[in-house]
Chains A and B, each alone.
Chain A
Amino acid sequence: MVTYIELTDTEIIKRVLQGEQALFAQLVQRYQQYVFTLVGRFTASREDAEEISQDIFVKAYRSLADFRGEAKFSTWLYTVVRTSCITFLRKKKLDTTSLDNERTFLQLESKESGFKANMIEQKSRHAMVNAAIQLLSPDDSQVLTLFYKGEQTLEEIGRIMGLDPNTVKVKLHRARNRLKEKMEKHFSYAVQELHED
């Protein structure tokens, strides 16, 4: 009987650095959803998100020797995600001085047009939540995604975003309030219907 033992991130990285390039695919499969979701917070276009996500993994592979193991691999990877997304926004010649600004994100595509009808049709809670998150600024959606989906602590998020953990905590609180406001504004009656179901 063959027992499959899942390698840890550190073990995979060590073996990739020793020449087993194919093992990197395990890291890609492990983190592709997280990276793709995070990148999706910076761009509305799925094609752009796919291209950026691929570039991120290639960059991560090329810089693998610089991963010192002091933090989790996911924390290091998400830092690469953030810098790559900021570079992407700069190339699109958008104002990146404040990723807290919803206007920055809305310049990419009009986020608030037409989605409401689609979400009502889907009547899916997670679809509505994802749509509401898409309406937030990149910083807000990123901090929410890193905290709830990326399994990062406040200190780790601070390291990724270059902020103090207390500042991250404040940002998280504000992001949750803004998410609540978005849900109230766009989905209050639909969510009420869901509750009544």
Chain B
Amino acid sequence: MRYRNYTRINHLTPGLQNEPEFYTFNANRMNTEDTNHDTPHITMEDRLWDYIDGLGSPAEQSAIEALIAANQEWLRKYRELLDVHQLMTSSELDTPPMRFTKNVMEEIARHHVAPATKNYINKNIIRSIGAFFLSLIAGLLIYCLSQFKWSGSSSSRMVPSYDLGLDKFDYSKVFSSLPVILFMLISVILGLVLLDLYLQRKKQQVS
């Protein structure tokens, strides 16, 4: 049956124009009736797309079929989405030039298949290096703890005492030296750059 849906194309569904934030997918909405009157088309569209793509359970597919059969709005929207779907399935692949395969084979004749990375990256070596550093850290920790004078006090807690001489240390000299200031400045800038990259990546994933 031919139907002229493209006459409806110019009547954009209200609320969907230039509002990318509308398109939030909620897989848990399984209501047979869409009760969200503020954004009725979002849930309907998502469910119709799932129906067209063949996703969703058989029960959901049957529910959508019933809605399409009984509700004019659902039927109209279904036809609209089906047109887009059929447009995509009817699109064709681009064909490269005739010599493409030959060009590729001529090029790969000059190359060899590289050995698999698992064959030249020995995980045992990486584990050994990791174990070395961990044992080094553990050894230093044990040495530092052994330097404490563990003495008992009136309370039942063991209070280690160790004179680090912190009260004699002049902090102002550390933070007034130029190399330290430069180092802190560079660290702050690098930290902000990394934070920005991380947030941009998160934003990209969300969009």
Contacts and interface: CB of A to CB of B under 8 A. Distances in A.
Nearest to A190: B6
Given A97-B204, A179-B84, A191-B6, A28 B101 contact: yes
B205 A163 contact: yes
B109 interface: yes
A125 B96 contact: no
Interface in A160-190: 163-164, 166-167, 169-170, 172-174, 176-177, 179-181, 183-184, 188
A189 to B, nearest CB: 9
Contacts of B111: 58, 61-62
Given A33-B95, A188-B6, A195-B4, A166 B87 contact: no
Interface in B102-144: 103-105, 107-109, 111-117, 119
Contact of A28 (B12, B104, B200): B104
Contacts of A66: 114, 116-117
A148 B112 contact: no
A118 interface: no
B96 A36 contact: yes
A16 B113 contact: yes
Interface stretch (B23-31, B58-66, B145-153, B186-194): B23-31
A87 interface: no
B93 A98 contact: no
Interface residues of B, number: 53
A61 B94 contact: no
Contacts of B100: 28, 32, 36, 50, 53-54
B4 A196 contact: yes
Contact of A64 (B7, B113, B200): B113
A24 interface: yes
Interface centre among B27, B92, B108, B207 (most CB of A within 10 A): B108
A54 B7 CA distance: 43
Contact of A149 (B93, B95, B103): B93
Given A53-B100, A58-B107, A192-B4, A173 B45 contact: yes
Contacts of A29: 101
Contact of B114 (A16, A62, A133): A62
A54 B107 contact: yes
A65 B113 contact: yes
Interface string A18-33: 0001101100110011
Nearest to A125: B90
Contact of A25 (B5, B92, B101, B116): B101
The 10 closest A-B pairs by CB, nearest first: A65-B116, A33-B93, A129-B91, A36-B96, A148-B88, A37-B94, A61-B108, A37-B93, A57-B104, A170-B25
